[in-house]
Amino acid sequence: MENTVIYVVSDSLGETAEFVARAAAIQFNANGKFEFRRVPYVNDKATLQDVIEEASGTRSIIAYTLVIPELKDELERLAKLHNIPAVDIIGPLMDALAKATSMPPKREAGLLHRLDDQYFRRVEAIEFAVKYDDGKDPRGLLYADVVLIGVSRTSKTPVSMYLAHKRIKAANVPIVPEVEPPAELFKIKPRKIVGLTIQPQLLLQIRQERLKQLGLTTDAEYASMSRIQKELAYADRLMAQLGCPVIDVSNKAIEETASMVLEVYYRGERDAK
């Protein structure tokens, strides 16, 4: 059976239309039966003509977010002429908002991403978390909003990513007894560092499970109680030396730990003012 091609046409990125189209398509439980082709940044009628010509040769529909009236009208005209179903994703909601507020829409393309400063801050924070994950580049610690430290398997990376989605630039550093902590760690204000610790028995279980997932035996030193106690004791001494807040992540969900880190962060920001 021929696949249905969903053309996602937008005068911006087209993320909204594609998300809605995919959400609708998944309701048909037809994996592999829908093909999505995004056509972003449409700003002329010639591009619309090209899309229609391509779509007319396939079993297709068009999902679009065009806020410029001339382009919207042209797409609807061409789609009707070629008998191609076209769905306006954003138009009906804009019309409803206009009626409710008695205000006309601006009808400017790309406003969401141009004006949404939070969107860009979130992207920047995510890129930061990836770049400075697991102590990759200690220089980044000086520019972080929060620096997480802790032994292996204390949720440093997932908490960093969760914070990034909250627009917090988080870096993290693994604490290993045999490896000297980066010098940058001692140049940061203690309120910007958060130590993550965990109960030894729970960490033992987590590490053993991790080794199983990797297809390794669980008798490695990495998952031995003596090694874990040594690492945790060293981490405790380092955190005390730094004078940073410490959070016990034992049996806590990532979201719960991240919320506690955020509380520490915002409290530090208030105290610094």
pLDDT of residue 187: 96
- Provide the 8-state DSSP code for 169: -
pLDDT of residue 136: 92
The token pair at 54 is: 């391509």
| Consecutive H or E run containing 63 | strand 60-65
Radius of gyration of the chain (CA): 26
Mean pLDDT of 211-232: 93
Q: With CA atoms as reference, report the closest residue to 12 among 119, 101, 92.
A: 119
Mean pLDDT of 138-145: 96
Residue 173 has pLDDT above 70, yes or no: yes
Check if the beta carbon of residue 63 is closer than 8 Å to that of residue 87: yes
- The mean of the pLDDT values for the chain is 91
Mean pLDDT of 127-148: 96
Q: What does the pLDDT look like over 142-163, one tens digit per residue?
A: 999 999 999 999 999 999 999 9
Q: How far is CA 121 from CA 19, 125, 259, 267, in A?
A: 21, 6, 19, 21
Chain position carrying tokens 């203690």: 190
pTM above 0.75, yes or no: no
pLDDT of residue 3: 85
| Consecutive H or E run containing 12 | none
Bridge partner residues of 171 (DSSP): 147
pLDDT of residue 31: 58
Residue 227 has pLDDT above 80, yes or no: yes
